[in-house]
Amino acid sequence: MLDKLFGWNRKKTEQSPQLPFGRYSDNNKPVAKVNRWTDAENHFKAGRYGLAFDAFFDYLADDRVQNVRYERQGDAGSFSLYQGSKIVRGRFDQDQLLAEVTLARMPQASVPVMRRLLEMNFSLRYTRFALDEDRLCMRFDSTLASAGPSKLYHGLKELSTKADKQDDLLVQDFAALQSSDSDHVQIIADAEKAVKYDFLQKWIAETLEQAASLDADKFAGGISYMLLSLIYRIDYLITPEGNLLNELEKIAGIYFRKDDRQPTEKNRDMQEELRKLQNRSREDIYQYLFRSRYTFSIVAPQTHKAIADSIHAANQSMIWYRDNGYPHVASQIIEYGIAYCQYSYSLPRVITDFFHFYMEINYAPYFSALGYKKQYYDAATNRFDSDAILDRIRNIQEQWKEKFPLMDFKTQNLRFDNLVNFNQTFTTELEFLNMENK
């Protein structure tokens, strides 16, 4: 009875959905998996190719998402790797290894398609485009004697990531092509799609309205931060796929394109593209909301110094906005510092765990709409559940203590007086984490 009255068992009874967010990172392997890479190298150097492949594909396998299937009998074996909307299928024997992925169907030959593929072939290092009857595919092969772990990793990564990127673009650009071999993607419930679409529209509208209320020249820097933070938030929280993901990347690319245009011009173009995204129908957006399994990250790892520098620069940039009565802009600038890293780098899982928690705190209504029970911050009352926040941080640290024994998030430095100060102190702790691993 006391438990019911005072909620002492609430932590045990509150269950939140286990939903995936953001881009896949392969910079997340436990110590045992990392050791399998060393095993693969040692076996390969000793000529034990079968054992080298056993260790290599075990290294690639992420047991959480079941992204790799592998089997071997003697000198021969087969494997499958999942990468977004594509599946890489391969086999090997005592002489060679071959892997391929189906991009699309081309019932009738198309000169423009073949010209595009010929041009793209020149940019590929390990793989090539090929045509098998009406099946357009990409291939990677190697003799066994040269199929060391490093070559296998980079070859299969190029095959997987390029195929996942190009299949949607090719089908979109050429009417002669038909989608193929994507039945394995997981369809999500309409209720979840509705939440994601509604908040996509809400965040775009709020950001465009806020940007319109500011002087475009005087506040060009702040507006840029707001627009980019919005793009990274959509990328992580909405987790779009296919054409929708490609469009987001193009919008972000407007700002970082190396040209002579001023930030005000780039901001104008980004806002125009966001309005186009805002005008897309619910049905159009829904088709790009699905779940996929991944084996390779599409971005590369970086040192923790790169992460720390991004956080530090953003937190310095937000000071003027904080001190001059623009708390919303200040919060968006703080968010940019860590969200840029989540978008651009293959982060260690522990940093992503902290970033995800940061987003749970800042976007409680979104998580609540998705079915998450715990609310860490109430914007209407400016109240934090500080005890729950401290517990969650300790749990994240404890989970990763083995791999990062020197990591120490100093919770005593957190401020709970308002959201801007909380965000600044939270991200500053991420900046100064000791990420030397075991």
Neighbours of 75 (CB within 10 A): 12
- Strands 290-291 and 178-179 come out as unpaired
Q: Report the residue count for the chain.
A: 438
Mean pLDDT of 156-173: 87
β-sheet bridge partners, residue 78: 71, 91
Tokens representing 169? Answer: 């673009």
Q: Considering only residues 371 and 180, tell me which one the structure prediction assigns the higher pLDDT.
A: 371
86-123 tens-digit pLDDT: 999 999 999 999 999 998 888 888 888 888 888 888 88
Q: From CA 254, how far away is CA 223, in angstroms rounded?
A: 14
273-307 tens-digit pLDDT: 999 999 999 999 999 999 999 999 989 899 999 99
pLDDT at 175: 77
pLDDT at 2: 38
Q: From CA 311, how far away is CA 355, in angstroms rounded?
A: 12
Strand segments (E) across 254-322: 290-291
The answer on pLDDT for 6 being more than 70 is no
- Cβ-in-10-Å burial (0-12, 13-18, 19+) of 245 comes to buried
Q: 31-179 maps to which CATH number? A: 3.30.1460.10
Q: Which of 168-177, 258-267, 295-304 has the lowest mean pLDDT?
A: 168-177
What band does 4 get if pLDDT is binned at 50, 70 and 90?
Answer: very low
213-262 tens-digit pLDDT: 999 999 999 999 999 999 999 999 999 998 899 999 999 999 999 988 99
CB-based contact 206:245 (threshold 8 Å): no
What band does 15 get if pLDDT is binned at 50, 70 and 90?
Answer: low
The answer on pLDDT for 315 being more than 90 is yes
Q: From CA 155, how far away is CA 146, in angstroms rounded?
A: 12
pLDDT at 182: 74
